[in-house]
């Protein structure tokens, strides 16, 4: 009899623990952080930020009652990957929350990284995009991913680059190919948006390389599926 009671007690404890763990999973919400350049904040041809794929993803998570908080303090127009590395090395504080960037990243459940389009577009206006420029960018991306993986083990989604101004499709493909390798190395997901960027209807003005809200909406849908996979 005692043995039977012990067995029943063990089963009961197991059931209670299972219910408790599942309840934690249900109630746990997403802490979402975005890092990047003008693409990350939905920059428009009119020098103002619009609604980005990060904003649409944030809204989707809110609709699903699955958003704890959203932080984009280290996303701003024309930020380079080298500048982002400096923020990380200095553990700079966010302007709004006054929270160090490492702490912002560490408490995130999802991190999106979209940086490079501004940088390559700007450089293409003053010089030819060479293999050295591409390799320097990839080296800096490697440094960033390596450094954050030392203290952050949750989901990272890296958004690729696309042709912008004199930054060619050929060069964008080369950059994305190398970014995919980095993502595999650091257990990050990669989203290639180059095909999306080739649609004329995804631009407000032909003279601007910033994609419009329709493109950002499409990208956000893919990001949500990647996150929930």
- The domain spanning residue 97 has which CATH number? 3.40.50.1110
| Residue 71: partners with Cβ closer than 8 Å, 6 or more residues away | 32, 33, 34, 94, 97, 99, 104, 108
SS3 84: helix
At residue 1, the pLDDT reads 52
Residues 30-52 pLDDT 10s: 999 999 999 999 999 998 999 99
Range of the domain at 203: 29-228
Does residue 108 form part of some domain? yes
| Residue 184: partners with Cβ closer than 8 Å, 6 or more residues away | none
Query: What is the reported pTM?
Result: 0.87
Does residue 21 form part of some domain? no
CA distance 3 to 186: 50
At residue 42, the pLDDT reads 97
> Structurally, how many domains does the chain consist of?
1
At residue 229, the pLDDT reads 83
At residue 150, the pLDDT reads 97
Given a cut of 50, the residues of the chain with pLDDT beneath it are: 24-26
Does residue 192 form part of some domain? yes
Burial class (CB in 10 A: 0-12, 13-18, 19+), 109: middle
Does residue 6 form part of some domain? no
Does residue 59 form part of some domain? yes
Does residue 3 form part of some domain? no
Does residue 20 form part of some domain? no
At residue 203, the pLDDT reads 96
Does residue 201 form part of some domain? yes
């Amino acid at each position: 009899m005692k043995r039977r009671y012990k067995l029943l007690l063990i089963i009961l404890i197991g059931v209670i623990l299972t219910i408790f763990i599942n309840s934690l999973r249900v109630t746990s919400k997403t802490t979402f952080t975005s890092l990047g350049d003008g693409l990350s904040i939905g920059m428009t041809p009119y020098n103002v930020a619009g609604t980005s794929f990060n904003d649409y993803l944030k809204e989707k998570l809110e609709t699903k009652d699955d958003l704890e908080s959203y932080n984009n303090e280290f996303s701003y127009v024309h930020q380079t990957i080298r500048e982002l590395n400096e923020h990380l090395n200095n553990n700079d504080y966010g302007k709004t929350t006054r929270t160090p960037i490492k702490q912002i990243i560490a408490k995130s459940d999802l991190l999106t990284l979209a940086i490079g389009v501004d940088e390559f577009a700007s450089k293409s206006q003053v010089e030819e995009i060479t293999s050295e420029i591409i390799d320097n960018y990839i080296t800096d991306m490697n440094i960033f991913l390596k450094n954050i993986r030392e203290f952050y083990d949750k989901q990272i989604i890296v958004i690729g680059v696309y042709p912008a101004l004199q930054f060619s499709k050929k060069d964008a493909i080369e950059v994305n190919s190398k970014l995919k390798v980095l993502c595999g190395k650091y257990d990050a997901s990669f989203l290639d948006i180059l095909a999306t960027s080739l649609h004329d209807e995804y631009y407000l003005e032909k003279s601007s390389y910033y994609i419009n809200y329709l493109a950002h909406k499409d990208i956000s849908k893919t990001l949500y599926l990647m996150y929930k996979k």
